[in-house]
Chains A and B, each alone.
Chain A
Amino acid sequence: MSLLLPTLISMRRRPGRTLLTALGTALGIATIVALLAVSGGAQRSASQLVDLGASDLGLFQKDAADPTTSILSTGLIKQFDATPGIAGATPLMLLVQDVPRSPATIVFGAPSSSFLTDRLVFSAGRMYGSGPAARNQIAIGNVLAQQLHLGVGGSLVVAHRTLRVVGIYHIGVAYQDDGAFIPMSTAQAITARPGETTTIAVKLDPGTKPAAEHTLLTKRFPGVAVIADGEEASRAGVNGLLVSKAALVIAVLALVIGGIGVFNTMLMAVIERRSEFALLSALGWSNFQVAGRVLVEGVVTTVIGAGVGLLLGVFGAHLLVNVLGAQMFVTPQVTAWALGRALLVGVLIGVLGGLYPSWRAAHVSPAHVLAQN
Chain B
Amino acid sequence: MSGARVVVSHVSRAYGTAVVIDDVNFVVEPGELVALTGPSGSGKTTLLQMLGSLDRPTSGSIKVDDVSVELLKNPAQYRRSVVGFVFQAHHLLPDLSARHNVELPMLAAHVSRRERDVQARELLAEVGLGDRADARPADLSGGERQRVAIARALAGRPKLILADEPTGSLDSVASMKIWELLVATRDRHGTTVVVASHDATLVEHADRAIRLVDGRIVEPGEPQPATERVA
Contacts and interface: CB of A to CB of B under 8 A. Distances in A.
B100 A5 contact: yes
Nearest to B158: A284
B121 interface: no
Contacts of A5: 100
A323 interface: no
Contacts of B95: 6, 9-10, 12-13
Interface stretch (B59-67, B104-112, B215-223): B104-112
Contact of A275 (B74, B79, B91, B116): B91
A284 B80 contact: yes
Interface residues of B, number: 31
A289 B108 contact: yes
Contacts of A13: 95
A283 B85 contact: yes
Interface string B71-95: 0001011011101010101010101
A370 B108 contact: no
A2 B93 CA distance: 15
Interface centre among B81, B105, B152 (most CB of A within 10 A): B105
B100 A286 contact: no
Contacts of B91: 275, 279, 370, 373
Nearest to A12: B95
Interface string A281-294: 11111110100000
B80 A283 contact: yes
A281 B108 CA distance: 10
A3 B74 CA distance: 21
A282 B109 contact: no
A373 B108 contact: no
A285 B77 CA distance: 8
A91 B81 CA distance: 81
Given A1-B100, A275-B91, A370-B91, A286 B49 contact: no
Contacts, number: 73
A77 interface: no
A210 interface: no
Interface residues of A, number: 26
A281 B49 contact: no
Given A6-B96, A281-B76, A283-B152, A373 B45 contact: no
B27 interface: no
Contacts of B107: 1, 3, 285
Interface string A1-34: 1110110011011000000000000000000000
Most buried by A among B52, B79, B89, B156: B79
Nearest to B155: A283
A19 B20 CA distance: 46
A367 interface: yes
A371 B76 contact: no
A176 to B, nearest CB: 61
A277 to B, nearest CB: 11
Contact of B103 (A1, A280, A370, A373): A1
Given A289-B108, A367-B49, A6 B93 contact: yes
Nearest to B79: A284
Nearest to A282: B85
Nearest to A281: B76
Given A1-B100, A370-B54, A373-B89, A285 B108 contact: yes
Given A2-B113, A9-B95, A373-B91, A280 B49 contact: no
Contact of B109 (A3, A6, A9, A284): A284
A17 to B, nearest CB: 15
A366 interface: yes
Contact of B104 (A9, A280, A370): A280
Return the 8 tightest CB-CB contacts between A and B, nearest first: A284-B80, A286-B76, A367-B54, A284-B79, A367-B55, A285-B108, A9-B95, A283-B105
Given A285-B108, A289-B108, 10 more contacts: A6-B95, A275-B91, A283-B85, A283-B152, A284-B76, A284-B105, A284-B109, A286-B74, A366-B54, A367-B55
26 contacts: A1-B100, A1-B103, A1-B107, A3-B107, A5-B100, A12-B95, A275-B91, A280-B108, A281-B54, A282-B52, A283-B85, A283-B152, A284-B77, A284-B79, A284-B83, A284-B109, A285-B80, A285-B108, A286-B74, A286-B108, A289-B76, A289-B108, A366-B54, A367-B55, A371-B45, A371-B46
